[in-house]
A and B are shown apart, each in its own frame.
Chain A
């Protein structure tokens, strides 16, 4: 079952690390809020960041940007979602 993993806490948090650890082939990881501070995640193919959260923080992200429409599409494209916190 493909899964959309969403995480909104800092990359140093246990929630973030658990999310990264749980992603399998075919899954997508979507970073929101403080999670957008993440640098490279070489172990995962599909990583997206919420564009609004990146812009608000004045940073640059190495990942593909997503808007709310993309988020809705991602939810529909995957069989389930997990919000890791």
Chain B
């Protein structure tokens, strides 16, 4: 399995979209992949996002299971330090603690940090 780590907030660059492209490219190649949101990457998951000039990230996230990407993880500590609660973020994301996060990174064959 490949792991894509998101550390950057949305809408300040192409980072978030590029990681989605990467995730879809993996599935086209039949490679299993998961997404992990840590640090400022957790801002990408806010359900209240309503971009006017850019594509909506969360609509893309909602469509990921259709492409076979069902593993979305977020680190609890990163949410807490930013005052984000689990009800603020989109539904299909599993909240994991820091230790689980480290284990996920350690057990994955390839890791791509953005």
Contact = CB atoms under 8 A, between A and B. Distances in A.
Contacts of B105: 3, 22, 82
A85 B110 contact: no
A53 B39 CA distance: 27
Interface in B2-30: 5, 7
Interface stretch (A13-21, A40-48, A68-76): A13-21
A39 to B, nearest CB: 22
**Interface range, B side:** 10 to 19
A2 to B, nearest CB: 9
A22 B109 contact: no
B106 interface: yes
Interface in B52-106: 98, 102, 105-106
A1 interface: yes
Interface of A: 1, 3, 14-15, 18, 21-22, 24, 80, 82-85
21 contacts: A1-B106, A1-B107, A1-B108, A1-B109, A3-B105, A14-B7, A14-B39, A14-B40, A18-B7, A18-B39, A21-B98, A21-B102, A22-B105, A80-B110, A80-B111, A82-B5, A82-B105, A82-B111, A82-B113, A83-B113, A84-B113
